[in-house]
Structure 1
Amino acid sequence: MYPQENNESPCEEDTSSGSAPLSPLPTFDKHIRWPYPLERIMSCASSDAQRDILLLGAFTTLGSTMGWHVRCAYGGKMISPCLQTFVSALSASGKGVLSLVRLLVEPFHDEIRKEALEKMACYLREKAKYDALGKERAKAEVPVMPPNKMFLISGNNTGTGILQNLMDSDGTGLICESEADTISSAIGSDYGHWSDTLRKAFDHDRLAYNRRTDREYREVKKTYLSVLVSGTPSQVKSLIPSAENGLFSRKIFYYMPAIQHWQDQFDRNDRDLEETFIQMGMEWKEKLKTIFMGGIFTLHLSDGQKEEFNRLFSQLFMRSEVTNGNEMSGSIARLAINICRIMEVVAMLRVLESGDIATSPHLSPDPGTSADNLKDHIISLWNLAITDEDFHAVLSMAECLYRHATHILSFLPATEVTRRSNADRDALMECMERQFTRTEFLKKAEEMGIKPATAATWLKRMTKNGLVENKDGKGTYQKP
């Protein structure tokens, strides 16, 4: 017997215990064949969820190194593959494997640091000679301190510190932290407050700061900062206290389920995964030289791909309105941007599978390239295409990432008087036909492990807020 409509009360609504949803969240399609080295990276996982986070981690780290060299026109501006990814899981759920993907970019970072340290040592020698000149210094040129370049930027940083790191590195970098508290504590400190930097970096915005004490002004015109963070559900709330501060909608979220049984940790092949990833990192450092020497690669979707892309996100946007009101609208809009960014990474990796990228069928010189430059093979602007298979592979991730983001949203404080929805309600609504009865709705909820009283409250609130329509006043409802 289901609860009567006039007996529904907001206090009856609840969610699953702890942080886990009642219905398992989806994982990415295991049958997709991704370009190298993605398949090799995912082969190191021991579960579907680990495969997914290694894939997301690879997109984030590899894309971060491409910077402004790879781009796509979207929304009237050029966007590059700079992702901000947050993997949330309970302790000992297997998210630690994510630390391996940092090794993919450490050789690149180490090379930058080696060059920076050599320049600093040279500067110190020149400065010592200059200081020893005595009165002759007036005739000599003052040595200039070189920028302290790096690629991997510490999340344990002050607001000005992270700006200095970015400006010294031409606006490019990656924050990669295994504990979200490292970043949230830094942002919340007296000298922190750099969450605005993360928000601006998402859009490649200009960053600047001014110091009154020494009249120092510095700026960088474009920012190419990526972020890869993991943490527990409680750490999500520490980093993003409200869905309204803009950080939530800019992140790619993935929620890892808890491990339900003991897993053997002894590798039969005695593999050292760190060595495997360091080797792939060394390979990637060499691949980057091809990208950097090639110039700028601009992804162009075909008309058919654009139509399919817009159709999918239009459906997601409408579906989100039904179950979440306007609270997820910004997240859908920015998920579309992030999907474009992932397509850039996949398309570029597919091109790199060719020994000579100039022979790749997915790459062509920009139409504006002069005939003389084409003849002399001097090409700095390229048009990049993505295969239909790769396009559909990336696009299929949108549904999964939307569901995970909706679940993470349920961790955050509600911004309205009513309780916020969660992934369970979204999954329930997705199961219903466009027109359904109240009995069908409550029955399906019970099958999914949702209390009928909770489902009844959801239905009442969605009707009250105009998210579903009561067709006849007798228990027949219709989605927009």
Structure 2
Amino acid sequence: MQRRLIEKSVYKKLPDTLKSLTDLFDGREKDIVLLSSLGVLSNCIPNVFGIYDGDTVYPHLYVIIIAPPASGKGVMNNSRILIEKIHDKILNDSKIENSVCEQDKKKNKDNTEPCPNLQVKILPANISNAEMYNFLGSSQHGVLIMESEADTMSNMLNNDWSNYSDVLRKAFHHEPLSISRKIDKMYEDIKEPKLSMVISGTPDQLKPLIKSRENGLFSRFIIYNFDEVSDFKDVFALKTRDNKVVFKTIGEEIFNLYGSLIAIEKPIEFSFTKSQQKKFLDRIRPIRNDIINNHSEAFISNLHRHGLVLFRIAMILTVLRNKETMNEQTNIICSNQDFITALYLTKTLLRHSQFTFNTIDNGVLSIQDEEILDSLNQQFSRKDAIESGSKKGIPKRTVDDKLAQWRRKKAIRKVKKGTYKKL
């Protein structure tokens, strides 16, 4: 079943930086570029923070794109260009610093101080638990894990020496991390870890990565899930020639923004207006009640974390819209335009998350699902299911999701278009 595209109104109101990138694409590719770019850029905004539920939070996001092979999700890799110049500078500066330290130690035998750890901005997923702590500890403003094959990370999480699932869960909320290993003479104490992730993979690659929808890692991700296979596009189209040029141009702008934010003395606080705070609560609370009444209560943690995701997306949009004057700010207030854009975008992402959540289970139907199925004839139509659902206050889109889930759970099978049979 086709999952919703991001609404066109979202694209119309984006800051120019993101509009320049997304205007190059259409359909699913447009959505993938927007979400992957937000994930990458969330790690390019140092010294900007907000207060959410009493805690200091930063813009960092976790994004995962789930789709079949040959579905066009490879355009995600374009977003990496946005951070590459920052990564190259941090890595090269770190290598020089390390080389100078090593030379100094050779000249001065009394110098027993260890040389600083290597610093990077882009981190591979295929690293050990200890390496993860090292890189997070040496990075003041965070690192990005970007992988186009989700099983690269899945393989790591299945090993004792590289299972950093707990690190991923804690880093999302910037919770303190510490590790001590006597054999390696290693000790790391990270007060506010900052990590962004942008990952893509097939549905089969998702299962080993997120073994349980209740393990906490699932609810931390922005999830975008679709199952259409793309047509073979015109690989010689003239408009595709300049795509990477545009990303490199924007990458230069982001590099300059990063440099100006690194240089400021006092971090900049981002916040909602009182009116936006009220609207935020007015929109989130009814969704919570709907989940309790019509869906699995286990999904509540996903809703709560999507509230934080909304706040972080609004922070990124606001910084990008004001990037030319960010180094002159002491605090920034979210515009109504960016607030509404973040709200609409998060609403769509929450539906993708809920759909995916409902596919990660043991095949057992909920009580509500059983009640709807019991009310239907042995053979029934989509229209019958929608009418039965509406009597329980369930929207048409949710019933369509349920039909897809029931088929996967072998509770029904499709007889023909719009007609189903109970098994």
Normalising by structure 1, report the TM-score: 0.75
CA 1:436–1:215: 2 relative to 1, 3 Å: closer
Displacement of 1:141: 3.2
SS at match of 2:189: strand
In structure 2, stretches of 5+ residues that fail to align are 374-381, 410-423
Q: Tell me which residue corresponds to 1:63.
A: 42
**C-alpha distance in 1 between matches for 2:319 and 2:129:** 33
- Over 3 Å counting, the alpha-carbon distance change for 1:320 and 1:434 in structure 2 is farther
**8 Å Cα contact 2:358-2:405 kept in structure 1:** no
2:72 is the alignment partner of 1:124:
no
For the aligned residue pairs, the C-alpha RMSD in angstroms reads 3.2
CA spacing shift, 1:90–1:215, aligned 2, 3 Å: same
Matched residue, 2:92: 114
Distance in 2, matches of 1:329 and 1:415, equals 20
Cα separation, partners in 2 of 1:184 and 1:420, compared to 1, 3 Å: farther
Unaligned stretches of 5+ in structure 1? 1-20, 131-136, 364-381, 458-480
User: 2:33 matched to 1:54?
Assistant: yes
Question: What residue in structure 1 maps to residue 333 of structure 2?
Answer: 385
Q: Which digits, 9 at most, give the CA deviation of each residue in 1:304-350, with x for residues without a partner? A: 11111111111211222233220210000000001100011011111
| Counterpart for residue 463 of structure 1 | none
| TM-aligned CA distance change 1:141 to 1:314, over 3 Å | same
Corresponding residue number in structure 2 for 1:335: 306
> Using the alignment, how far apart are the partners of 2:354 and 2:226 within structure 1?
14
Query: What amino acid sits opposite 2:57 in the alignment?
Result: I
Residue in 1 that maps onto 2:56: 78
Contact 1:171 1:220 survives alignment (8 Å): no
Spell out the pairing of 1:349-360 with structure 2 (5 A cutoff).
Answer: 349-354=320-325, 358=328
Deviation of 1:418 after TM superposition, in Å, equals 4.2
Question: How many Å separate the matches in 1 of 2:387 and 2:53?
Answer: 33
For the 8 Å contact 2:61–2:197, the answer to whether it is kept is: yes
**Greater CA radius of gyration, 1 or 2?**
1
- 2:15 is the counterpart of 1:38: no
CA distance in 2, matches of 1:40, 1:317: 35
SS of the residue 1:413 aligns to: coil
Identity of aligned residues (%): 25
What is the alpha-carbon distance in structure 1 between the residues aligned to residue 230 and residue 357 of structure 2? 24
- Return the offset for 1:293: 2.5
Structure 2 residue corresponding to 1:245, chosen from 189, 209, 215: 215
Contact 1:153 1:175 in 2 (8 A): yes
Q: Structure 1 pair 240/388, CA: closer, same or farther in 2 (3 Å)?
A: same
1:271 alignment partner in structure 2: 241
Show the 5 A alignment for 1:3-402.
21=1, 24-30=3-9, 31-45=11-25, 47-67=26-46, 69-130=47-108, 137=109, 140-142=110-112, 144-170=114-140, 172-259=142-229, 261-269=231-239, 271-294=241-264, 295-354=266-325, 358=328, 382-402=330-350
Q: Which amino acid aligns with 1:62?
A: L
Partner AA of 1:76 in structure 2: G
| Residue-by-residue CA offset, 1:404-455 (whole Å, 9 max, x unaligned) | 001111331249774897xxx9xx9xx98999548x989x699959769969
| SS across alignment from 1:208 | strand
Indicate the residue corresponding to 1:474 in structure 2: none
Question: Take 1:271 and 1:420, find their aligned partners in 2: how far apart are those partners?
Answer: 51
Structure 1: how far apart are the matches of 2:167 and 2:253? 31
Deviation at 1:53, TM superposition (A): 1.6
4+ long deviations beyond 4 Å: 415-421, 431-436, 444-455
Distance 2:405 2:113 in 1: 74
- Per-residue displacement from partner, 1:249-274 (whole Å, max 9, x unpaired)? 11100013423533222122461433
How many Å apart are 1:393 and its aligned residue? Answer: 1.0
Cα distance, 1:227 vs structure 2: 0.7
Partner letter of residue 84 of structure 1? Y
Structure 1 residues 88, 146: closer, same or farther in 2, change over 3 A?
same
Indicate conservation of the 8 Å contact 2:83/2:255, yes or no: yes
Residue 71 of structure 2 aligns to which amino acid in structure 1? Answer: S
Q: Secondary structure at the match of 2:178?
A: strand
Residue type matched to 2:50 in 1? C
1:110-144 CA deviation, whole Å, 9 max, x = no partner? Answer: 000110111122122223323xxxxxx4xx43354
What do residues 256-297 of structure 1 show as CA deviations (whole Å, max 9, x unaligned)? 342353322212246143333223212211111222233312
User: What amino acid is aligned across from residue 392 of structure 1 in structure 2?
Assistant: I
Residues 286-295 or 158-167, more deviating? 286-295
CA–CA distance in 1 between the matches of 2:181 and 2:402? 56
Aligned-partner Cα distance in 2 for 1:104–1:451: 40
Aligned-partner Cα distance in 1 for 2:153–2:116: 27
Inter-partner Cα distance in structure 2 for 1:304 and 1:321: 26
For 1:453 and 1:92, the matched residues in 2 are separated by 23
Matched length: 394
Distance across 2 between alignment mates of 1:409 and 1:420: 16
Structure with bigger helix share is 2
| Structure 2 CA distance for aligned equivalents of residues 260 and 94 of structure 1 | 6
Distance 1:314 1:120 in 2: 51
